[in-house]
């Protein structure tokens, strides 16, 4: 039985002064929903603060990207072991904003996926199609190629220590959510693709939905057979909204 998992992606939001209340409220609220796994992925500069405020809570900590390199002359980059140093359990890889705005290819995302695993972090691998791709009828092809790059680089067994997030690009930050049926269709396709390599890994891997998941649509989305939780952007910045989504997974 897969456990539901709700992870917040703060993106480039937050402040030292404002984070404390949000983190403390999430930690307090999540404590009473222990059946749902919960995490927040915060900007690098706030990892130390989040580690401190979340200490002893049920809320896991994550980062939003990482370098594919272990260490060395890579100015501005942050390695997996540095992220681990701050008590992180998770790291997002291949978010569509990284792919679109910073040119991260499937191969680059796969290399980051491997770097995370090598350091003992759980990568949250994001896959998803643009609106043009959906309208051109190539959603399955695009998502499969994104997934295959990680399977080829890390091996399918890696997905027993990784999470997949299906995030249709047209639904991220737009208020336009995939319908539960649209999302379920792609989640089932993703699970089937993993099953082609290993049925038991496929049965166990958590596949989250991301794209304008809110308190009013979370329960129906997470009620679909292959939707195991959510990756939450905007609503993760408001404690009551984020916690309502966490509770919807229970």
- Known catalytic residues are 95, 167
Give me 47's structure tokens: 């990892």
Q: Which is nearer to ligand PEP, 11 or 201 (CB)?
A: 11
Q: How far is CA 41 from CA 73, 236, 242, in A?
A: 26, 10, 13
DSSP 157: G
- What 3-state DSSP class applies to 230? strand
Among 23, 233, 242, 245, binds ligand PEP (CB under 6 A): 233
Check binding of 29 to ligand PEP (CB under 6 A): no
Among 60, 123, 210, 249, binds ligand PEP (CB under 6 A): 210
Q: Which is nearer to ligand PEP, 151 or 172 (CB)?
A: 172
Query: b vs e for 97-131, b when ≥16 Cβ sit within 10 Å of the residue's Cβ?
Result: bbbeeeebebebbbbbbbbbbebebbbbbbbbbbe
Binding piece for ligand PEP, criterion CB under 6 A, among 29-37, 136-144, 194-202, 229-237: 229-237
**Up-side HSE of residue 185: CA atoms within 13 Å toward CB?**
8
Check binding of 212 to ligand PEP (CB under 6 A): yes
Site string for ligand PEP, 89-128 (x = CB under 6 A): ----------------------------------------
- Name the strand (E) or helix (H) holding 98: helix 96-101
Check binding of 14 to ligand PEP (CB under 6 A): no
Residues in region 54-93 near ligand PEP by CB under 6 A: none
Check binding of 211 to ligand PEP (CB under 6 A): yes
Give me 45's structure tokens: 């500069």
Q: Which is nearer to ligand PEP, 156 or 163 (CB)?
A: 163
Burial group, residue 35, by CB count within 10 angstroms (0-12, 13-18, 19+): exposed
Q: Which is nearer to ligand PEP, 29 or 234 (CB)?
A: 234
| Residues binding ligand PEP (CB under 6 A) | 9, 11, 167, 172-173, 210-213, 231-235
């Amino acid at each position: 039985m897969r456990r539901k998992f709700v992870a917040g992606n703060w993106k480039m939001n937050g402040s030292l002064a404002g984070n404390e209340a949000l983190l403390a409220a999430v930690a307090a609220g999540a404590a009473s929903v222990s059946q749902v796994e919960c995490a927040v992925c915060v900007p690098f500069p706030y990892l130390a603060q989040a580690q401190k405020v979340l200490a002893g809570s049920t809320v896991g900590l994550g980062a939003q990207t990482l370098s594919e390199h272990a260490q060395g002359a890579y100015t501005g980059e942050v390695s997996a072991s540095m992220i681990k140093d701050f008590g992180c359990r998770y790291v997002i890889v291949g978010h569509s904003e990284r792919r679109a705005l910073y040119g991260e290819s499937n191969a680059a995302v796969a290399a980051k996926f491997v770097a995370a695993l090598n350091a003992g972090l759980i990568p949250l691998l994001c896959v998803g199609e643009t609106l043009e791709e959906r309208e051109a009828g190539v959603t399955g092809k695009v998502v499969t190629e994104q997934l295959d790059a990680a399977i080829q680089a890390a091996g399918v067994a890696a997905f027993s220590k990784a999470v997949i997030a299906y995030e249709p690009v047209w639904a991220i930050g737009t208020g336009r959510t995939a319908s539960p049926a649209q999302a379920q269709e792609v989640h089932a396709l993703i699970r089937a693709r993993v099953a082609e390599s290993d049925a038991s890994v496929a049965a166990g891997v958590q596949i989250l939905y991301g794209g304008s998941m809110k308190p009013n649509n979370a329960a129906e989305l997470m009620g679909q057979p292959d939707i195991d939780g959510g990756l939450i952007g905007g609503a993760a910045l408001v404690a009551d909204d984020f916690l309502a989504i966490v509770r919807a997974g229970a």
